[in-house]
Amino acid sequence: MMSFRDWMEACVREYYKSDFRRDFFTAPELDRAFGYSLAYFIAQLVKDYEKPILFELGGGSGALAYDILTYLWEKEPHIYKRVSYYIYDFSPRLIEIQRERLKSFRDKVFWTDRLFPMKGVIFSNEFFDCLPVHVIKEGKELFIEGDKEVWKETSNPKIMEVIQRMGYENLQQVIEICLDCIEFLKGIGENLKKGYHLVIDYGYTTEEIERFPQGTVVGYKSHKVYSKPSEGMDITAYVNFSLLEEYGKDFGLQKVDCLRLSRFLMKNPIFMEELEKLSKSKKAEDIERLSRLKTLLISMGERFRVLIQKKL
Ligand SMILES: C[S@@+](CC[C@H](N)C(=O)[O-])C[C@H]1O[C@@H](n2cnc3c(N)ncnc32)[C@H](O)[C@@H]1O
């Protein structure tokens, strides 16, 4: 018998170890406007840094790194010259794909298996949702035995501490506690000597938690979502943004903003210029891209949030 957390961790590792399948598209894979907009935002944050480091957690196919570096190279050559781009990823298969995709930026991109002391921006898109969660309901924790689900009294004091600190003791529903998210925040807070931490992901805040009475864990396979995940699927849980905000404080990460992706993109001049340009065009390719930008703004834009934390 193993806790759901350990089972989820094993499934996610296995999933990313296996051949890269396209069971879902992420924002950077949808359209370059996402990476270009993020690059513009990051450039404003680091423009006065001497040698800023851009550190991406979970590089996927390398699409986000490619678009960020392309944008900086084309539009912000003075910043491009000074940056180094690091990717942290546990999937050897994806690292291979990233290396191939980023061949033209060979002198700029590095791979690392740990965080290290740095100044710049640590950021991720759809990384925190991959981190395993403990599944809890009214003091009991979910365990997996074969294909059976078993609920046992929670004995882990760390989980109880988080439940109390977040004010979840009286919730009569499934809740997910991501101790791994807190561990990552700790590493980020300790290593980021000066700069910003950005999390882009789908998620919820404490005020919204009751909208998910059965919790938020799902499995993805062949572009379908399964509420009962099983091995061989990518298993994810919505990110608890209130928890990231609350625990970030312990590690010196002060919240600057937490907003929906749609709002983040609408405030971004690069995204808005692209949207305007495409909406005036009659070319088939542009019409197709316009529809992808609308997906970024509407369906993803409403589900995803952007958390910006600062370390002074
Ligand atoms: C859903 S993909 C997102 C990829 C990319 N950020 C994007 O938006 O296209 C998640 C990425 O995080 C990596 N990943 C997931 N869990 C991880 C962990 N615990 N440690 C390191 N990398 C992890 C996966 O290998 C994969 O590259």
Average pLDDT in the chain: 94
Architecture of 7-132+178-208+234-303 per CATH?
3-Layer(aba) Sandwich (3.40)
d(CA 101, CA 84) in angstroms, rounded, equals 17
Q: Which tokens hold the place of 82? A: 């000074």
* Model pLDDT for residues 174-214, shown as the tens digit of each residue: 999 999 999 999 999 999 999 999 999 999 999 999 999 99
**162-184: average pLDDT:** 97
Distance separating the N- and C-terminal Cα atoms of the chain: 44
> In ligand 1, which atom is closest to the CA atom of 234?
1
* Model pLDDT for residues 42-79, shown as the tens digit of each residue: 999 999 999 999 999 999 999 999 999 999 999 999 99
**233-240: average pLDDT:** 91
d(CA 34, CA 26) in angstroms, rounded, equals 10
Q: Is 98 in the pocket of ligand 1 (CB under 6 A)?
A: no
Counting ligand 1 atoms within 8 A of each CB, the residue from 18, 130, 180, 233 with the most, and so the one to mutate, is: 130
84: exposed, middle or buried (Cβ count in 10 Å: 0-12, 13-18, 19+): middle
d(CA 44, CA 53) in angstroms, rounded, equals 14
Q: Is 85 in the pocket of ligand 1 (CB under 6 A)?
A: no
Q: Give whole-number Cα distances, 46 to 40, 41, 84, 198, 240, in Å.
A: 10, 9, 12, 13, 27
Domain borders along the chain are 7-132+178-208+234-303
Q: Is 29 in the pocket of ligand 1 (CB under 6 A)?
A: yes
d(CA 308, CA 312) in angstroms, rounded, equals 13
Threshold 0.75, pTM exceeds: yes
Decide if 66 contacts 97 (C-beta within 8 A).
no
Whether the per-residue pLDDT at 229 is higher than 80: the answer is: no
